């Protein structure tokens, strides 16, 4: 970005309109503005700061007193500053700010044919985008509050300026933001990524399947064994039934019948118990509600509802009677009478029909629960009775069976004893096998349920796999970007520090009388060292030189980065350098050397200075082809000339009036002395 | 997915462009005419675009 012109109107010492058109030549890029001390050099830099940011430098005295006094005396109430600047992409902008009564701020885009279009969007943000406020101090320097701080040993902290101007701060923020987005991706990934869970589920499923298969085999085997036992016991029964002893034969028949009854009773009991579970599961709420039904129904008794909640109609009727002051029966109803008070009380106790309806609904629901709970209660009571009955029957049959077996066993028949013993053993085995079959069936049922649930979960987890893969890749992209920026930051920072040191050393070697070098410390401070490498405390002038050369070298590195395609860092700002009295603290020879060097390091340089014959800056710049334009302030004063006042100076062979006295008004004119472009 | 698989999708050029564009977003949102609070959204969109383009290129080249 370069400045094309600056126009001030009624701004401090400038009465009316004054304009500087800066040199915009790439080669002859320097504009010198000569001004005597005490007539407002600083006003010029402050006009730029004010126009861009509505701020003034700390050295600007009386910041509330901006309107030119002569203009104020003549009734003017506003002051204005306008800057024309050209952006890096060669677009011309006009930035204007007004203060006083008519304050305002506007930016216009100027087309090639001079047409002005208001800038869309925020003017303030636009200014910040071309020269951020917090970087302006590096470029617009009034010699007092520059943004380069030095410690008591004259060491200058350079970390912040490097980060700002070269755009590293933005790169650092980019790393932080990409890392934050990566964390978001990771959060999503963690929620969706069930790889471990999936492999564990698959493993579990395989185990369950194996167990299921084994249990099924075991069931088949048990059923096979059971059928063999049943055949065996059938044979024994037949043998015993064929016995010649009639009593034994009868007992055997009785026992077989008792066993069948016992099996039926056990089966019935099992069925009733299953039903009991299902009854409790389905009607638990209704059963428990039965406990509170009576009190609720009493509370919402039909009788009470009828008596205590007159409907809308009743309320309206009473209201109408009160309005007419006459009852249906013809009785007069007047305010204050007993009848009036009775009707008022009746109306106040009326409730709306909606409330009544809701209460009736509540009552109906509770009544429904009551009915339901009564019927369920009956079913549950029946079920309990059935269970009790079957349990008693089983006890009785088991007892009878035991007795019959004992009688058959003690019948004294040798063969019968043997058969009975075998039979008892077989019965025990059958019972055990039946239990094992029951357990296997239950286990198979449970395993089937678990397998189904696992299969469904695995299916869901597998559905998220593509999303997880995408998140993996996105996280990888973030990692790559962070790593790329980090490695470039690291190498560029190192390069910049080396470059700075080399370039500043070259300047010092060429121009400084002493054998000094610069060194950059690990905590990013730059200082002068003597020939033995020891840091020295620089003089005021040396410190100023170091600052000028450092900042302009940094800007020149930023310019080089801007012009390199492979550079990914967007420079924080590359603006013209505007220096107010930069050479005042420097010895003549140093001033000349600095002036010789600065223009080649930046795009545009504006120097506002007091003309000092020992520091022929314009001549030096002219000689090295960098001088574009010279302006000077011409002060007109109502006061009388004093003995030492200078009224004219010589600039490149031209005599120029810089002060005149006994004038009608006080003002400062900005006049072009010479243009070399 | 191993690292080689992932790497085949994003070229060095993709990453360089992504880094540069994201830094530019940061600058526009910090110093420029964009709102700072929008920067994460803009970066996410940029990442999505880069990802979509690189991913489809990567898939095609396989």
The residues spanned by each domain of chain A are: 1-131+575-677
Judge whether A129 is closer than 8 Å to chain B, CB to CB: yes
For the stretch A638-647, pLDDT in tens is 888 887 788 8
For the stretch A403-431, pLDDT in tens is 888 877 776 565 777 787 888 898 899 88
Mean of pLDDT values over A18-24: 96
| Pick from A80-89, A436-445, B7-16: least confident | B7-16
For the stretch A322-368, pLDDT in tens is 788 888 788 888 888 888 887 777 776 666 666 667 777 777 777 77
Cβ of B23 within 8 Å of Cβ of A167? The answer is: yes
Judge whether A153 is closer than 8 Å to chain B, CB to CB: no
State both tokens at A140: 């617009």
pLDDT value at position A386?
A: 93
CB contact at 8 A, A86 and A97? no
B46 neighbourhood in chain A, CB within 8 Å: none
Nearest by CB: B1 against A469, A480, A485: A469
Cβ of B20 within 8 Å of Cβ of A568? The answer is: yes
**So what's the architecture of A1-131+575-677 in CATH?**
3-Layer(aba) Sandwich (3.40)
Calculate what percentage of chain A has a pLDDT beyond 90: 29
B33 neighbourhood in chain A, CB within 8 Å: 121-122, 125-126, 129
Average pLDDT, chain A: 84
DSSP annotation of B39 reads: H
For A74-97, b/e burial (b = at least 16 CB within 10 A) is eebeebbbbbbbbeeeeebbbbbb
Residue A607 pairs in a beta bridge with: A32, A579
State both tokens at A391: 């349990």
B:3-62 residues touching chain A, CB 8 A cutoff: 6, 9-10, 15-16, 18-20, 22-28, 30-34, 39-40, 43-44, 47, 50-51, 54-55
Cβ of B33 within 8 Å of Cβ of A126? The answer is: yes
pLDDT of A465 above 80: no
CB contact at 8 A, A29 and A21? no
Quick one: chain A helix, strand, coil %, rounded to 5?
A: 60, 15, 25
pLDDT of A54 above 70: yes
What is the ipTM for the molecules in this complex? 0.89
pLDDT of A305 above 70: no
Which stretches in chain B have pLDDT values below 70? 1-8, 33, 55-62
State both tokens at A568: 């990914």
Residue B46 distance to chain A (closest CA, Å): 11
- Alpha carbon dihedral A329, A333, A338, A343, in 10-degree steps, equals 80
Q: How far apart are CA A624 and CA A616, in angstroms?
A: 13
CA angle (A627 as vertex; A624, A633 as ends), nearest 5: 145
Cβ of B44 within 8 Å of Cβ of A181? The answer is: yes
Residue A336 pairs in a beta bridge with: none
Q: How far apart are CA A284 and CA A473, in angstroms?
A: 53
At residue A326, the 3 state secondary structure works out as: strand
């Amino acid at each position: 970005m370069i400045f094309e012109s600056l126009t001030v109107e009624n701004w401090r010492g400038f009465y009316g309109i004054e304009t500087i058109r800066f040199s915009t030549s790439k080669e002859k890029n320097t504009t010198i503005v000569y001004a005597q001390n005490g007539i407002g050099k600083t006003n010029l830099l402050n006009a730029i700061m004010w126009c861009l940011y509505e701020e003034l430098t700390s050295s600007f005295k009386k910041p509330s007193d901006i309107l030119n006094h002569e203009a104020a005396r003549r009734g003017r109430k506003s002051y204005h500053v306008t800057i024309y600047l050209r952006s890096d992409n060669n677009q011309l902008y006009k930035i204007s700010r007004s203060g006083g009564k008519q304050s305002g701020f506007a930016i216009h885009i100027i087309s090639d044919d001079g047409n002005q279009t208001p800038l869309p969007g925020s003017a303030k943000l636009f200014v910040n985008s071309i020269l951020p406020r917090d970087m302006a101090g590096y470029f617009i320097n009034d010699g007092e509050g520059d943004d380069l701080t030095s410690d008591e040993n004259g060491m200058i902290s350079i970390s912040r300026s490097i980060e700002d101007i070269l755009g590293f701060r933005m790169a650092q923020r980019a790393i932080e933001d990409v890392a934050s987005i990566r964390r978001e991706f990771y959060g999503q990934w963690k929620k969706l990524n069930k790889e471990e869970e999936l492999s564990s589920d698959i493993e579990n499923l395989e185990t369950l399947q194996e167990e299921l298969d084994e249990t099924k085999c075991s069931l088949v085997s048990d059923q096979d064994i059971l059928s063999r036992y049943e055949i065996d016991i059938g044979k024994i029964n037949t043998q015993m039934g064929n016995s010649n002893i009639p009593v034994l034969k009868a007992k055997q028949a009785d026992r077989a019948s008792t066993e069948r009854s016992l099996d039926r009773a056990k089966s019935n009991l099992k069925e009733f118990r299953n039903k009991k579970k299902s009854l409790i599961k389905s009607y638990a709420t209704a059963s428990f509600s039965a406990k509170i039904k009576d009190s609720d129904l009493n509370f919402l008794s039909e009788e009470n509802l009828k008596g205590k909640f007159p409907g809308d109609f009743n309320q309206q009727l009473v209201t109408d009677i009160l309005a007419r002051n006459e009852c249906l029966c013809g009785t007069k109803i007047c305010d204050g009478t007993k009848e009036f008070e009775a009707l008022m009380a009746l109306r106040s106790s009326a409730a709306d029909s909606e409330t009544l309806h809701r209460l009736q609904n509540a009552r109906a629901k509770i009544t429904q629960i009551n009915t339901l709970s009564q019927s369920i209660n009956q079913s549950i009571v029946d079920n309990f009775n059935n269970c009790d009955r079957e349990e008693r029957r089983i006890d009785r049959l088991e007892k009878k069976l035991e007795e019959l077996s004992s009688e058959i066993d003690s019948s004294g028949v040798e063969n019968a004893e043997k058969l009975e013993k075998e039979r008892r053993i077989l019965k025990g085995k059958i019972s055990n096998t039946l239990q094992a079959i029951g357990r296997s069936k239950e286990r198979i049922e449970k395993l089937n349920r678990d397998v189904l649930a696992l299969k469904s979960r695995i299916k869901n987890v597998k559905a998220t796999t593509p999303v997880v893969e995408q998140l993996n890749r996105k996280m990888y992209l973030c990692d790559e970007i962070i790593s790329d920026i980090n490695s470039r930051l690291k190498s560029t920072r190192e390069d910049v520090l080396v470059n700075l040191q080399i370039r500043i050393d070259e300047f010092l070697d060429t121009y400084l009388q002493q054998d000094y070098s610069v060194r950059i410390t690990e905590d990013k401070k730059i200082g002068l060292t003597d020939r033995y490498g020891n840091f020295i405390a620089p003089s005021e002038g040396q410190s100023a030189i170091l600052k000028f050369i450092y900042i302009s070298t940094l800007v020149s590195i930023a310019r080089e980065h801007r012009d390199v395609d492979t550079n990914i860092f967007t420079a924080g700002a590359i603006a013209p350098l505007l220096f107010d009295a930069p050479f005042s603290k420097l010895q003549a020879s140093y001033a000349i050397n600095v002036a010789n060097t600065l223009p080649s390091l930046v795009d545009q340089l504006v120097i506002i200075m007091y003309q000092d014959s020992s520091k022929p800056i314009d001549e030096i710049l002219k000689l090295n082809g960098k001088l574009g334009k010279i302006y000077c302030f011409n002060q007109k004063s109502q006061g009388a000339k004093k003995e030492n006042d200078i009224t004219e100076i010589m600039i490149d062979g031209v005599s120029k009036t810089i002060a005149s006295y006994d004038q009608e008004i006080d003002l400062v004119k900005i006049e072009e002395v010479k243009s070399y472009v | 997915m191993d690292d080689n698989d992932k790497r085949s999708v994003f070229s060095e050029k993709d990453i360089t462009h992504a880094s540069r564009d994201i830094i530019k977003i940061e600058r526009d949102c910090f110093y420029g005419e964009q709102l700072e609070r929008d920067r994460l959204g803009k970066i996410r969109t940029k990442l999505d675009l880069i990802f979509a383009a690189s991913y489809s290129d990567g898939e095609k080249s396989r």
